[in-house]
Amino acid sequence: MNNDFNKKQDKIINIIKAVPKGSVASYGQIASIAGVTRGHRLVAAALRASTILDLPWYRIIRSDGRCGMDEGSEGFIKQFSLLKTEGVLAKNGRIDMKRYQWAPDLDFLLFRPTDL
């Protein structure tokens, strides 16, 4: 069981690392690309270790374009500040997913770094 969990986490971490500058992805999108059904909570768990793993945690947001942290919190402010430095702009605390959501190309989806 633990080995299966570790494999899923590794897949998720590799997908998070692949989100390019200037783009965002949702928790569910990351899980889906990694092939982890209903894995949005595993994505959140991976992001909690983001400082240790040097992940671009701030590029992962909710599917409605909002930050996963409380509005006005230190993490909320830091996330939108980091996104702004990459050209991703928020309006009323939301990212326009149609404009900024990562759309990986077919090569990435077919040959993604998930089979470790």
pLDDT per position as a tens digit, 4-33: 878 888 889 989 999 999 999 999 999 999
**CA neighbor of 115 nearest in space, from 28, 34, 26:** 34
**pTM score of the predicted model:** 0.87
| Amino acid 1: pLDDT | 54
Does any domain span residue 43?
yes
Q: What is the rounded CA–CA span in Å between residue 102 and residue 19? A: 7
| Amino acid 80: pLDDT | 95
| Amino acid 31: pLDDT | 93
Does any domain span residue 110?
no
The per-residue pLDDT for range 59-116, each reduced to its tens digit, is 999 999 999 888 889 989 999 999 999 999 999 989 999 999 999 888 887 776 544 3
What does the DSSP assignment read for 26-63?
Answer: EHHHHHHHHT-TT-HHHHHHHHHTHHHHT--GGGEE-T
DSSP letter assigned to residue 67: -
| Amino acid 116: pLDDT | 38
Question: What mean pLDDT comes out for the span 34-55?
Answer: 84
Does any domain span residue 62?
yes
Name the one residue in this structure whose structure tokens are 């149609």: 98
| C-alpha distance from residue 72 to each of 28, 52, 75, 78, 92 (Å) | 24, 24, 8, 10, 12
> Which domain range does residue 86 map to?
2-101
Q: What is the domain count for the chain?
A: 1
Does any domain span residue 32?
yes
Q: Helix, strand or coil for residue 73?
A: coil
Question: What mean pLDDT comes out for the span 38-64?
Answer: 87
Q: What's the CATH number where 40 sits?
A: 1.10.10.10
Q: What is the rounded CA–CA span in Å between residue 92 and residue 21? A: 22
Residue 24: phi and psi, rounded to 5, are -130, 160
